[in-house]
Structure formats: structure tokens, C-alpha cells
């Protein structure tokens, strides 16, 4: 079995893109609820905008930390001749993202 550093780097960069896009969504949500003056009469919607945006930013930071740890863990594992499975982290990150998106959907429904 050979050592494929480019596959590990591509995976790292994919996690990096996911992290940056999740952080961008968090900033956009925070700014959207901050700038939207049409919902000023409903303080619940405005007050939930910042925490929802922060959840996405924290998720993005967590994805970035995972990418960093996963890169070096996989690099050491491949040098020893095996590649670790990543089923658990995919389940955790998918669940966290789905939960955050569901919360955002509920907030948007309250806004309408």
C-alpha cells in the first residue's frame, strides 16, 4: 500500500472549504438579522439572529479544528500503512449542521 499525500491534502482542503463556507453563512445570518429593520417590531426574531449566526461560526471553527487534527492523524496512519475510517465524524458534523439549519428554518418561519 502506497502513501498518497495528495489525497490527504485534498481532504484537508475540502474540510477547509466547508469550514470557510459555514463561517460565511454565520456572518451573513448575523448581518441579515442585524440589518433587517422590517422585523424591528418582533424582538424574538431579531434576538435569535445573532445566536444562530454564532452557531454557524462555531461550527465552522470546529470543522477547521477537525480538519487540522484529521490531516495529521491520517498522515501518520498512512505512513504506517493503514487509513482511518471517518464514519463517526461525518455523522456528527452532518447532525450538527442539520440541527443548525433546522433552527434557522424555524426562525425564518417565525419571521413570516
So where are the chain's domains? 5-111
- Please determine, for residue 39, whether its predicted confidence score (pLDDT) is greater than 80: no
Q: CA-based angle 47:112:107, to the nearest 5?
A: 40
Q: 13: part of which helix (H) or strand (E)?
A: helix 5-35
Is the confidence at residue 68, as pLDDT, over 60?
A: yes
- At 84, give phi and psi (nearest 5°): -70, 145
Q: Is 60 exposed, middle or buried (0-12, 13-18, 19+ CB in 10 A)?
A: buried
Q: 15-24, 32-41, 66-75, 77-86: lowest mean pLDDT where?
A: 32-41
Average pLDDT over the chain reads: 81
pLDDT of 40 reads 54
Return the closest-CA partner of residue 107 out of 28, 25, 50, 27: 50
% pLDDT > 70, the chain: 83
pTM of the predicted structure, to 2 decimals: 0.73
Amino acid at each position: 500500500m502506497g502513501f498518497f499525500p495528495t489525497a490527504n491534502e485534498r481532504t484537508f482542503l475540502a474540510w477547509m472549504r466547508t469550514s470557510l463556507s459555514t463561517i460565511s453563512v454565520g456572518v451573513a445570518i448575523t448581518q441579515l438579522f442585524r440589518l433587517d429593520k422590517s422585523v424591528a417590531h418582533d424582538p424574538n426574531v431579531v434576538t435569535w439572529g445573532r445566536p444562530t449566526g454564532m452557531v454557524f461560526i462555531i461550527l465552522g471553527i470546529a470543522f477547521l479544528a477537525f480538519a487540522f487534527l484529521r490531516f495529521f492523524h491520517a498522515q501518520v496512519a498512512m505512513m504506517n500503512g493503514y487509513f482511518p475510517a471517518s464514519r463517526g465524524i461525518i455523522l456528527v458534523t452532518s447532525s450538527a449542521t442539520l440541527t443548525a439549519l433546522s433552527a434557522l428554518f424555524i426562525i425564518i418561519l417565525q419571521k413570516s
